Chains A and B, each alone.
Chain A
Amino acid sequence: MLPDERGYFGSYGGRFVPETLVPVLDELTAAYQQCQADSTFWDEFESLSRDYSGRPTALYYARKMSERCGGARIFLKREDLAHTGAHKINNALGQGLLARRMGKHRIIAETGAGQHGVATAAVCAMLGLQCIVYMGEEDMRRQSPNVFRMKLMGAEVRPVSSGSRTLKDAINEAIRDWVTNARDTYYLLGSVVGPHPYTVMVRDFQSVIGKEVRWQILEKTGRLPHHIVACVGGGSNAIGIFYPFLNDRNVGLIGVEAGGRGLETVEHAASLMAGRVGVLHGAKSYVLQDDQGQIRETHSISAGLDYPGVGPEHSYLKDIGRVRYLAVNDDEALAGFQLLCQTEGIIPALESAHAVAYAARLASSVDKEQIIVVNLSGRGDKDLNIVTEALEGDK
C-alpha cells in the first residue's frame, strides 16, 4: 500500500517542511487515521456528499460529441454538476469534517482558479468554521466571479502579490500563515500536493469519483472503460478518478497537463512532461524549475492548471508507466471547450477542457467499440471572460 508510513510513493512525496509544522502534520496524520477507522465519520461524509454536494454525479453518454469525433463512445463524469461546480467540494467536505473533529475552527486555504476556495468557503459556512482563502492577485483578476462567490459565503479572500501572483504563491502564503498559527489553524489544502498526509487524504476524499464511475459504467455498458482521461494540475481530480482503477490493467489511464503556448516554449505548466525531480511545497515530485533549482513561472490559459508542481503519486505513476501523461496546449483546450459547448450544451471549466480536447483526439483515432470516460472536473461559468477574450483575440 502506497504511500509508505513516511508518505512516500516510491521516491516521491515525504515531508519537506519547517520543523514547526512537523508536529502539526503528525497530529493531523493521527487524527486522520482515527477517522479512517471510524464509520461514523464516513457515514457523515457520505450523507453530506449525497444531500449537500449532490452525489453521485451523473455519468453521461455524450452521444453527439462521440458522433462528431467519429470513433469511440465518450462518457462524461459530471463533476461539474457537484455543488459549487467542481470536484473540489469532495475534498473540502472531507477535510472540513476532519478539521471540525480536531476542534480547529480557523480554516485557511489556497486557491488558483477559485474552485477550491469556493468549495472551502461553502463547507466552512455550512459547518460554521472561519474561512480565509489566499489567492494570487493575477488569479483574482482572471477568476473574479469566484472571488465574489467566496465573499458571499463569508470567506475572507486575501490577495497574494508575491512571485507570479498565482497558485504557487498562494500556497506559499497559506503555508506562512499556517506556520504562524500552527496550533489553532487547519490548512485545508486543495490538491494531492503538499506534505504527507495531504496526498493520501485528498486522494481518499476524491476517489469517490472513480468508485462511482466503476459501477456507473458497468451499469451502462456492462464493462470497464478502455480509457479514462483527466486533466492534471496538482492532480486531484485525476487521482480521484484513476485511483480505483489502478489495478485494472486493461483500463488505460491518461493524464493531460497544461501545454500552454507549447512545450517547446517556457510558457506552459506541464510538470510531468517537462519538469525534473525537485522539492516544492513540502513534497518531492516533478517540478518545473530552472537549472539552478529556482521554481519557474508557468503559464496556462486555465488558472487551475497554472502550477509548477504536481502530486507525488502522479510522479510515481508516470515512472512506473501505469498512467500515460501528455500535454494539451491553450488553443486545443479552447477548441475542446467550444466542442463540448456546441455538441452537448455543456460549458466545461478550462481545466477540464484540456481533458475533453484530448479525449476528442483519442476518440477519433480508435474504433467505435471503445469506451472513453472523461472526468469533467468542473463547469466553465467562471471562465467566460477568459474565453471571450481569447476567442476575440483570434479575430
Chain B
Amino acid sequence: MVNYGGDEVSALVIDIGTSSVRAGYAGDDAPKAVIPTTYGFHRAAPDADSAMPDAADPTRSGTGKFAKMYMGQYGPSVWREGMEVANPLTDGLVHDFEPVAALMRHAVVDVMRCNPTEHPILVTEPAWNTPANRERMAEIMFEEFQVPAFYIANTGVLNAFAAGKGSALVIDVGQTIASVTPIVDGFVLRKGLVYSSLPQLIHAHARHTLLNPTPQRRGGIDLYPHQLITNKMPVELGAPPRYTLREDRVKGTTESWRMWYEAREVDEWTQSVAGVLEQGWNDQAAASRPPRQYEFPTGYNAWFTSERYSVGEQFFWHSPQLMASNAGLPKTIPALISESLRACDPELRQVLVGNVVLTGGGSLFAGFGDRLSSELARSFPHVKIHSPGNPVERRYGGWLGGSVLASLGTFHQLWISKEEWAEHGKAIVGQRCK
C-alpha cells in the first residue's frame, strides 16, 4: 500500500489567494472548489432591509458587521442593490479574518459538502506572512472548524513541490504581488525573499491606457459592466458606443462594487489583448505585431496596436522618467530576481538559476514566459525555467503542491493535532511549521 510514498488520509487543502480561494482533497490534481476571494455584503445597520428576496442565493447571514454575505459563484458578480464588495486580503496577507473564515466554510461546507471536523486541513500562506496571522489561522481552524489536525505551509515551498523540486527559485506572479522566493531543501531562505506589488502597477497602467484619450481615440473608454446596460447597438470600429444604461440599477450601485467590476473589465482586457514582447522593447517590433480587436460591454470596439505591448513591458522594464517621478515604484521582475540571488550564497545561485519555477496566474500573461527566459538567459547562461504549459497547474500551483505534500506518508507526523494545540497553544504553530 506504499505507492510512491503516498498515504491518503483524506486531508483537505485550502489555498487562499487574492483573486480566489482554492479548496480540494489532497491527492487530487486540481482543486474541487475555486471561489472568488472577493465577497459581497450588506452592511449591518439597525434599519437594514434584512429580508432579501432571493432565497436561492448561496448567501449567508453575516454576523457582526455584515447583515448578509454573498460568496462564491453567485456572490459578488451578481448585481444587488446596495451590495458592497470587499477583499479580505491586502498584499497577499489576510487583514480581515472574519470573511476569510466564512469563505473557507463556504468552500468546504457549501461547495465540497465536507464536514471539516472529519478532515485534517492544510492551509497555505505567503512567505511573508506574519506569525500573528498564522496563529490566528490555526485558532480559526481548531476553535471554529474543530479540525482534527492542521498544518500551514508556505506557497513558495508548495510551488516548488508542485514542480517536483526541493530546491528552486520560485517566481510567483499573483493578482496583487509578484514574489521571488529561493527554496532550499523545502525551506524558504527568508533573506532572499523579495516581493513587490508589480501586478497592481500593470493593472493601473492598463486602466490608464483605457481611460485616457489617445491619438486614435477622443475620449476614454466607458467601463460599465454588462449588468448596468439595458441595450446596445452594434457600432463601427472606433465609433462612439450607443447604449442605454439601466438607470434603476445605476442608482442602487455602490461605489465599491462598481470599482471592483471596472477592475474586472480592465483585467479581462489585459488578459485577452495585452502582451509582452519576447525580446525586449522595440518600437518597430511592437508596431509590426498584428493589432487585436476587443469589444467592451458598452459595445465600443477598437483595434489595439502597440499600446497592448507597453502594458506588459512594465513587468520587465521601467522608463527612467517613471522611476524618477515615483520613488516607491514596485521593482521589476529582473530586479527582483537579481536582488533575491544577491542575497543568496554564491554557491547556491547556480542551483537556483537551474531550477527556476514560474507560477501564478499573472505569469500566464501573453509572452511572459518567453520574455523571462530571454531576460534570464542574458545574465545566466545555464538558466532552466520550469513553467507548466497547463494553465491549471500554473494558476493553482500552490494548491497542487499542498495536495502533494498532504498526501505523503512521511508528512503525517508533521500535522499539528488538536491535542497538541490544546497543550501548547499558539507556540506550536511556529515550532512545527518552519
Q: Do A and B come together as binding partners?
A: no
